[in-house]
């Protein structure tokens, strides 16, 4: 048995704790299962990074809340899509003190020192050790990441390409497959993380889970905004990808909507039914036509 794995976080150095889970995480999740099938992997593992050093200090309350929120939402998504038996979410804090991981970290440090490789942060070594740990202990045979600019991956110093290239340099292993997908897009048309919500994302119209926002407002908002039109198109693509993977048998479930529904309504159902979030009672969703039931798209965690 082999597995594909990918990592996500709950905070960024620049913006602080995430303000919920962006809807685009669905696209990232779908990509993981699509790439797993294409690369002969029968399982998908997600590492949720909730500690950044050893020994790990206690997380701030806001970050800890995001850990619990994301574990609940993502766990429910896996269950709703019928992949709980093929998906595992592991927090970094669960293995940072594992003797197997500490052995991988010691080996990583030794290799870096032997090759006189310097890194700007110890976190780079923790990341590299994590790749070896998942390969040895969980049968991981491929890792998925995202790129801000797929055409120029080396431009992003803290992009995943950077961490993966440091792993190759330190380990000397250039054969292990690192697979990349495009970063998410925000309503300005800029690329961004597929699993972090920045403080101003809701204000600019980005759809988040466990936050109050009505995607029904987007068609009016995009009329004079080229970036937002691209964003809405990306949302539509995410939903279409989910439907296509369902039709291919990758997800073992019944999708609880009619394919004729407008994308606004599908998003609302995905948030409520697949992620298990409760809709905000004061937000209404306009129907695409009289046969399409109104659904509130934004949600708060129940």
Provide the CA 85 distance to its chain's centre, in angstroms. 19
Asked if residue 23 has pLDDT above 70, the reply is yes
Distances (CA, A) of 289 to 27, 222, 252: 27, 20, 29
Kindly indicate the confidence band of residue 169, based on its pLDDT and cuts at 50, 70 and 90. Answer: very high
The dihedral sign for the CA sequence 231, 275, 277, 197? negative
Q: pLDDT tens digits, residue range 182-194?
A: 899 888 888 899 9
Return the ∠ at Cα 69 (arms to 251 and 257), rounded to 5°: 35
Give the closest residue to 143 by CA, choosing from 2, 1, 246: 2
- What residue ranges define each of the domains in the chain, with the CATH number in brackets? 3-184 (3.40.50.620), 210-300 (no CATH)
Q: Distance (Å, rounded) from C-alpha 288 to C-alpha 135?
A: 47
pTM here is 0.87
pLDDT of res. 289? 34
Cα–Cα nearest to 24, from 265, 188, 170, 194? 194
Task: Supply φ then ψ for residue 283, to 5 degrees.
Answer: -115, 125
Percent of the chain residues past pLDDT 70, beyond the cut: 83
Q: What is the DSSP string of 60-103?
A: PHHHHHHHHHHHHHHHHHHHHTT-GGGEEEEEGGGTTT-HHHHH
pLDDT in tens, 176-226: 999 999 899 888 888 899 999 998 887 787 888 865 544 544 444 555 566
Q: What is the pLDDT of residue 203?
A: 79
């Amino acid at each position: 048995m082999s597995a594909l794995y990918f990592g996500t976080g709950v905070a960024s150095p620049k913006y602080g704790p995430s303000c919920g889970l962006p809807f685009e995480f669905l696209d990232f999740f779908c990509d993981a299962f699509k790439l797993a099938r294409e690369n002969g992997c029968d399982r998908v593992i997600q590492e949720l990074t909730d500690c950044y050093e050893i020994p790990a200090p206690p997380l701030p309350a806001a970050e800890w809340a995001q850990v619990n929120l994301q574990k609940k939402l993502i766990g429910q998504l896996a269950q709703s899509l019928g992949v709980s038996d093929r998906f595992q979410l592991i927090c970094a804090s669960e293995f940072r003190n594992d003797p197997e991981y500490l052995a991988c970290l010691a080996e990583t440090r030794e290799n870096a020192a032997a090759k006189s490789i310097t890194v700007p942060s110890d976190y780079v070594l923790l990341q590299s050790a994590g790749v070896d740990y998942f390969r040895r202990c969980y049968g991981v045979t491929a890792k998925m990441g995202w790129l801000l600019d797929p055409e120029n991956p080396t431009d992003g110093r803290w992009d995943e390409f950077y961490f993966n290239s440091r792993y190759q340099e330190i380990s000397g292993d250039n054969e292990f497959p690192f697979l990349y997908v495009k970063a998410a897009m925000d309503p300005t048309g800029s690329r961004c993380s597929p699993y972090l919500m920045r403080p101003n994302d809701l204000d600019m119209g980005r759809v988040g889970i466990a936050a109050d926002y009505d995607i029904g407002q987007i068609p009016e908002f995009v009329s004079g905004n080229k970036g937002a039109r691209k964003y809405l198109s990306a949302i539509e693509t995410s939903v279409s990808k989910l439907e296509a993977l369902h039709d291919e048998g990758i997800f073992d479930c019944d999708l609880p909507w009619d394919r004729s529904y407008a994308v606004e309504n599908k998003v609302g159902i995905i948030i409520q039914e697949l992620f298990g979030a409760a809709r905000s009672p004061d937000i209404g969703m306009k129907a695409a036509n009289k046969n399409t039931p109104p659904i509130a798209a934004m949600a708060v965690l129940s």
